[in-house]
Structure 1
Amino acid sequence: MLCLLVIGLKSWAQTEPKVSSQVDTTSIKIGEQINFTVTVETDTLAQVIFPDGHTFSPLETVEAFETDTTRKQDRMTLQKIYALTQFDSGNYKLPSQRIEINGKGYFTDSTQISVANVPVDTLAQKMYDIKPLMQVDKSNVDLFKWLLIILIVVAVVAGLVYWFFLRKKPLTEEEKEALLPPYDRALLELKKLENSKYIIQDEYKEYYSELTNIVRSYLEEDVHVTALESTTDELIVKLEMLRDAGELKLDNDTLSQFRRILQTADLVKFAKSKPESSVAENDRKAIEQIVIKTHDALPEPTEEELLEQEEYKEELARKKQKKKLVIAGVSVIAAIFIAAAVAIGYYGFVPVKDTLLGNPTKKLLEGEWVASTYGYPPISLETPEILRRQEAELTPDMKANISDLQIFMYRNAKSLFTVGTSSTVLTQEVEPDFEKSVEMFIKNLEDKGAKNIITKQEEFTTISGVKGIKVYGSGKFAVPESDELVQGKYSVILFGGKGFQQQVILTWRDNDTYAEEIVERILKTLEVKTEV
């Protein structure tokens, strides 16, 4: 039993992780680098999480090198090197770092680092005052990018509308023939009939049907007589009446010949008569002469008639253009509605609406985020906009307990979204009073007009394992420059230790899903230093 116990203890000792650290030097000059090496020996199946590089303050991280891994049987050795520096002289404490192995924290040793000044010969080189901060205009790259995309889309839509609806398309042969005057079109169609294969294929019915349709259509358009719906006798009677009235100067022989051809066509179409091919060809030539004589027999149109015809053509052109514009407009509107329907079906109504109308918190969420460290003791986090330093005046009562207070904040009044940090150094090495800080925060909200404030509290832990207190809830908050109260939410995360306190404040409008995502993302990146 004693042997088994010894073996068991030996086995447990082999599986227990080992964490060690070292620096290549403890004394550097301003701007020089030290290499901080962390070595972990553990099982090959263990999950190891190293510091992310924001936890070395007051030293600054220059580079975190890739982790070097060495395996031997069921054990592995992980080694990670951090290049650190400092640009102010003095003695600094490199804090102990938390290494998480299978969810359990292991800490490295802290080390004192001495940073020496670089001697400067002020006689050989002049000294200049520090230049003031320069105000840099916000980049408009994103705005230009969206404008370019919108212009391209509009140009493409305009090009499609022009190509399919507004441009003057090349006419087909049929359309060119349809635009010819009735007389020219009739002669052209008779010429095509001459070159057809109806007679060769003994298709006399189709031949005479097309022949009579050509002449009847011409008479209806040019002579203005209802020829297509009239029988042979009715059509001849109408032509004779026009001749007797002096409106059509045709002789009796031409009308008699026309009657004979129409009667022959009736026999072919209805009595299945089959004339000689020479007769059919002569009838086509005769019809061509009848068309020519009829055209020559028509009186010349008066100036008023020509003007009426011109106005009629212009009116037709205007109606055609108007029709094209209506079709183009309807097409564009339909395309917009279809695109909106597809977008709503895929993304949902609210995201599409917020994208088109420009929801402020949606722009913050989808914009370029900034990762930075604020104040001392430092607070590191990612935010959609940079936090700006706020002037903080300490009252005489506050100065008795606070030696330094640094506040950074971003506020979007339009969306009622606020994110701020405060780092407080106390005059005495005592633990901070979190309850008093929360009371002061609630009182500040009430002084600004907030009502019905609900408060909850829970523990908060950063990714690196630093524990703090999260106070959160909801209430009705005042809208800037208005008496209106809107439902909103807030979160206050507090950290601290002997002689200092750190605080992160977030407020946003209730039911704002984009703000909820922003808050969640900020809290996931939140890191603090718990040593001054």
Structure 2
Amino acid sequence: MKKIILLFLLFSTAIFAQQKVATSIDTTKNKIGAEFKLTLKTEVEAKTKVVFPKLKNIGALEVIASYPIDTVKKNDRIELIKKYGLTQFDSGKYTIPSIKILIDKKEYLSDSIQVEVANVPVDTLKQKMYDIKDIVKTEDTIGDWWKYLLALVLLSGIGALVYWYVKKQQKKKIEEEIYKTPIEKATSLLNTLEKKELWQKGEIKEYYSELTNIARNYIEEAIDIPAMESTTSELILGLKAASVKKKMTLTQETISNLERVLKQADLVKFAKSKPLDFEITEDRNKIQKAILTLDNAIPVAIVAEEDSILNEAQRQNQLKLQLQKKRKDRIITTAGIVFGVIVGLFAFFVVTKGFDYVKDTILGHPTKELLEGEWVKSEYGNPGIIIETPKVLQRIDLSKSLPKEGMALIKEMQSFAYGSFLDNFYLMVSTYSFKEGTTIDLSKSLDGSIKMMELQGGQNMIVKQEDFETKEGLKGIKGYGSFSKIDAITQTSTKIYYEILLFSQNGGLQQIMLLHEEGDLYANEVSERVLNSVELKQVSN
């Protein structure tokens, strides 16, 4: 029995030993930012499920790498190796705590390890120091020529499109003239057809189509036969019937010549027949002669005077409508060309100047107008501040906004401003003369200006401070940063950037304050120009 218990204990101990997690590290001392490699090993049966944790930090060390698990087969067992890359950016001694590993849902702990992170020694005697090199401008291998080429291509394309459209419309559209009689119309159209010289250019099909359409249109208008919709055979039969009904005197030769030309036209249009030049001329003459013969054969109807006046009025009305239509077409064509040019110019400036510039130029932008307007150089306050501004600054009274304790120390105060704190651009120049014995602390003065902005609605103030020196060598401080401004009506928040210059001379304080919407490129240029122009009148002691 003791042997069995002893074997059981040995077996249990063996199992425990096999499932123990071995812990090691590649080094216990490293430099700041260098990697420690922590290795965890465990040997288990092949079917055992082992889970290594996913960690972002192990103790005070950051996990910068979690390496894939390596598997090593050992007979019927496997060894799992998991590595973590750790680092720390502060020097000191740190303990890597135990890590929980799940083996068949049971927790096992790794060993804790002590490591040290050391500073990186810097020897400025061995490492040579070099001056900062000037900025070297690289050559622009491409340049801006492609922008102009693109604009030229766009304008050319638009121009070609407009030209093609107008030409197509003119070609498709046959302006119908208003004539007093069908014979006058037919004669005029025949003369126009000859001037086109279609068949001389090889456009025989188009020539015969127009020639027969003139004849058919005349017959339809003068004799009241649906000639445009009839076949050649139907047209000839209808013409014969109409001649009997209207008592028209027509010879067989006239009808035969007309029929021959119509059939010739059918062959040209549908069978691609090509008549000889003299045949084309003869067909044209036959059509003209047939139309004249038909017109002479139509009995003359006596038109009442009232009908004549009515027909003339209708003709004048049609002529008026036609002129209006032509005028409308000209306006549309002109508007299209103008619109195309505008679009082309818009595209050109968008490519060369940018969309925001074009938008601000067309729609207007308040700070852009300030930047491009006529600037004024003036002197304000005492001690005087000479400054260049986009507008003349107006005198304002700040006495009511300052605390009584502060006003008690001030002997003289002058303030001038453009805009207001509620606007998205504000410029203020102030000078103060204090009573004797008053000590001026520029940093505290800056704090006072910041508090004033907070009292007027500024929130989430970010304040930075640095020294500032004018071109004349007068030293002061510059406060700058940003804050949020809430619109009282819309309750929307706007990010405002500010800059404050403060100088102290012989018991006096000079201040320049600029506020504008953050991200306004035009306002940035305005601010830069204003601050670069600052000149201070030096006060003698």
If the TM-score is normalised by the length of the shorter chain, which range does it land in? 0.5 to 0.7
- Structure 1 Cα separation of the partners of residues 222 and 451 of structure 2: 95
- Pairwise mapping of residues 44-443 of structure 1 onto structure 2 (< 5 A)? 178-180=177-179, 181-188=181-188, 215-227=215-227, 233-244=233-244, 246=245, 248-251=246-249, 254-262=250-258, 265=261, 286-287=289-290, 289-296=292-299, 303=307, 306=311, 323-324=329-330, 326-327=332-333, 330-393=336-399, 397-398=405-406, 400-412=408-420, 415-428=423-436, 432-443=440-451
Please report how far the alpha carbon of residue 453 of structure 1 lies from its aligned counterpart in structure 2 after TM superposition.
0.3
Change in 2 beyond 3 A, CA 1:222/1:346: farther
Mark the CA change 1:481 to 1:463 in structure 2 (over 3 Å): closer, same or farther: farther
Q: Which amino acid letter does the alignment assign opposite residue 295 of structure 2?
A: I
Distance 1:414 1:368, change over 3 A: farther
Q: How many angstroms does 1:340 deviate by?
A: 3.1
Render the CA deviation track for 1:106-140: whole Å, top value 9, x for unaligned: xxxxxxxxxxxxxxxxxxxxxxxxxxxxxxxxxxx
Q: Is the 1:360–1:415 contact (alpha carbons within 8 Å) kept by the matching residues of 2?
A: no
Conservation of the 8 A alpha-carbon contact between 2:467 and 2:478: yes
* Number of equivalent positions: 352
Contact kept? 1:223, 1:298, Cα under 8 Å? no
> 3-state DSSP class of the match of 1:463?
coil
Distance 1:274 1:473 in 2: 91
SS in 2 for 1:465: coil
Change beyond 3 A, Cα 1:309–1:445: same
* 1:452 equivalenced with 2:460 (yes/no): yes
Contact 1:361 1:515 survives alignment (8 Å): yes
Residue 133 of structure 1 corresponds to which residue in structure 2?
none
Distance 1:482 1:275 in 2: 86
Q: Would you say the 8 A contact 2:258–2:290 is kept in 1?
A: no
User: Does structure 1 retain, via aligned residues, the 8 Å contact 2:467–2:475?
Assistant: yes
Please report the TM-score for the alignment, with normalisation by the length of structure 1. 0.54
Relative to structure 1, is the Cα distance of residues 314 and 261 closer, same or farther in structure 2, using a 3 angstrom cutoff? Answer: same
Gap regions ≥5 residues in structure 1: 1-163, 165-170, 198-204
Tell me, which stretches of 5 or more residues in structure 2 are unaligned?
1-162, 164-169, 198-204, 268-272
Shift of 1:349: 2.0
- Quote the offset at 1:334 in angstroms: 4.5
Per-residue deviation at 1:314? 6.3
Whether the 8 Å contact between 1:495 and 1:502 is mirrored in structure 2 is yes
The alpha carbon displacement at 1:225 in A equals 3.0
Shift of 1:345: 2.7
Question: Aligned-pair distance for 1:492?
Answer: 1.0
Bigger mean CA offset, 206-215 vs 216-225: 206-215
Report the alpha carbon displacement of residue 312 of structure 1 after superposing the two structures with TM: 6.5
Q: In structure 1, what is the Cα distance between the partners aligned to 2:426 and 2:511?
A: 14
Q: Is the counterpart of residue 461 in structure 1 residue 469 in structure 2?
A: yes
Distance 2:285 2:208 in 1: 12
- 2:529 alignment partner AA: R
SS in 1 for 2:519: coil
Give, in whole Å, the separation in 1 of the partners of 2:475 and 2:262: 107
CA deviation string 1:456-483 (max 9, x = no partner)? 0111122233221101111112447776
State percent identity of aligned pairs.
32
Change (3 A) 1:416 1:192: closer
Distance in 1 (CA, whole Å) between partners of 2:495 and 2:194 is 88
Residue 436 of structure 1 deviates from its aligned partner by 1.7
CA distance in 2, matches of 1:471, 1:259: 105
1:387 Cα offset (Å): 1.4
> Cα distance 1:273–1:416, how it changes in 2: closer, same or farther (>3 A)?
closer
Question: For residues 194 and 183 of structure 2, what CA distance do their matches in structure 1 show?
Answer: 17
Q: Does 1:491 align with 2:489?
A: no
Q: For residue 261 of structure 1, what is the amino acid of its counterpart?
A: N
Letter in 2 for 1:466: L
Give the conservation status (yes or no) of the 8 Å contact 1:190–1:284: no
Q: 1:473, 1:190 → 2: CA distance? A: 85
Kindly report the root-mean-square deviation, in angstroms, between the aligned alpha carbons of the 2 structures. 4.8
Instruction: Give the direction of change, closer, same or farther, for the CA distance of 1:483–1:428 in structure 2 (3 Å limit).
Output: farther
Within 2, Cα distance between the matches of 1:273 and 1:483?
A: 87
The answer as to whether partners of 2:261 and 2:286 remain within 8 angstroms in 1 is no
Report if the CA contact (8 A) 1:382-1:526 is conserved: yes
CA contact 1:369–1:383 (8 Å) conserved in 2:
yes
Contact 2:497–2:517, Cα closer than 8 Å, also in 1: yes
Letter of the structure 2 residue corresponding to residue 361 of structure 1: T
Q: Within 2, Cα distance between the matches of 1:337 and 1:257?
A: 63
Secondary structure of the 1:495 match is strand
Q: For residue 238 of structure 2, what is the amino acid of its counterpart?
A: K
In 2, distance between residues paired with 1:478 and 1:206? Answer: 75
Q: What is the rounded CA distance, in whole Å, between the counterparts of 1:354 and 1:190 in structure 2?
A: 59
Equivalents in 2 of 1:426, 1:496: separation in Å? 11
Report what 1:503 is aligned to.
511
Cα distance in 1 for partners of 2:206, 2:443 equals 104
* Aligned counterpart, 1:154: none
8 Å CA contact 2:183–2:291 kept in 1: the answer is no
Map residues 465-484 of structure 1 onto 2, 5 A cutoff.
465-479=473-487, 484=492
Distance of 1:318 and 1:282 partners within structure 2: 36
Separation of aligned partners in 1, 2:522 and 2:293: 83
The answer as to whether partners of 1:267 and 1:273 remain within 8 angstroms in 2 is no
Q: Within 2, Cα distance between the matches of 1:376 and 1:233?
A: 109
SS of 1:386 mapped into structure 2: coil
Q: Who is 2:523 aligned against?
A: 515
- Cα displacement (A) at 1:503: 1.2
- Provide, for residues 230-255 of structure 1, a one-character-per-residue CA deviation record: whole Å limited to 9, x for no partner: 666543311122234x3x3312xx24
Cα distance in structure 2, aligned partners of 1:196 and 1:390:
81
Tell me how far apart the structure 1 counterparts of residues 429 and 285 of structure 2 sit (CA, whole Å). 105
